[in-house]
Amino acid sequence: MKTVLRLIAFAAIFLVVGSAHGQMERPVQTFKSSKGPIKVTPVYHASMVIEAGGKVIVVDPAKPAVFTGLPQADLILVTDIHGDHMDTALIASESKAGTEIIAPPAVVKTVTTASPLANGEKKTWGDWTIEAVPMYNLTRGPEAGKFFHDKGRGNGYILTYGGTRIYISGDTEGIPEMRALKNIDVAFICMNLPYTMTPEEAADAVKAFHPKIAIPYHSGTSDTTAFQKALAGTGIEVRLLNWYPKA
């Protein structure tokens, strides 16, 4: 009997340690809604998994993101045509029977099984509302007269569940449409040069629409602490997560 108890105790310790290790690897965030908790798991760069009400949404599954140990998607959202957002192989591996895919029309040209949702359009999916919002460059591009992200090509998304509104910026600068957002509870904000914004520019845009919580993502080598410092004293909670776990 004592041997059995020791084995049970050892297993419990192993699970706790393993859980703690998993938390370090994947800093899961939980947000409240009137329908129950919303769990968001950062995976890599722009890839994340959102779970609520028994449903799973995967955003921008793209290499080198590793989804081992995470559930496959009931819904996949893709923001843009670039390889760090649109990856047909990972879209396939994260899909199962009945998985739906929502993407901008430019993505649907490649991911032909996706349903198109253009800037300004809205769709109800179960208990979720999915809104496609603009994401684009104002000034930055590969050369004069060209932008890394053209207006109307890609989608940011506002996801609403149980009254809680989550904004995923996609690749964008601090565009007027972002600054005009209302009632955002959680904002995932991109920042990386030369393609999107500096941390300071991102903070300036966030101040304009004042979400309750702001989380840098798609940040590359950007100094996310500069984003945090720029928002100090605003009442906006900034959470810095590890989007680039080491193998």
* Predicted pLDDT at 162: 98
What phi and psi values does residue 187 have, to the nearest 5 degrees? -120, 125
Q: Terminal CA-to-CA distance of the chain, rounded, Å? A: 40
* Among 180, 225, 226, 171, CA closest to 206: 180
For the sheet containing 38-44, what is the strand order? 29-31, 38-44, 47-52, 55-59, 75-77, 100-103, 115-116
In angstroms, rounded to a whole number, what is the distance separating the alpha carbons of residues 174 and 61?
Answer: 24
User: Whole-model pTM?
Assistant: 0.90
* Predicted pLDDT at 246: 81
Is there a contact between 136 and 152 (Cβ–Cβ < 8 Å)? yes
User: CB count, 10 Å around CB of 167?
Assistant: 23
* Among 45, 29, 35, 13, CA closest to 221: 45
DSSP state of 137: -
Is the bond into 64 cis (omega within 30 degrees of 0)? yes
Segment-wise mean pLDDT, segments of 10 residues, the chain, 247 residues: 39 36 70 98 98 98 96 98 97 98 98 98 98 97 95 98 98 98 98 97 98 98 98 98 87
pLDDT digits (tens, 9 = 90+) for 80-136: 999 999 999 999 999 999 999 999 999 999 999 999 999 999 999 999 999 999 999
- Domains for the chain: give ranges and CATH numbers: 27-238 (3.60.15.10)
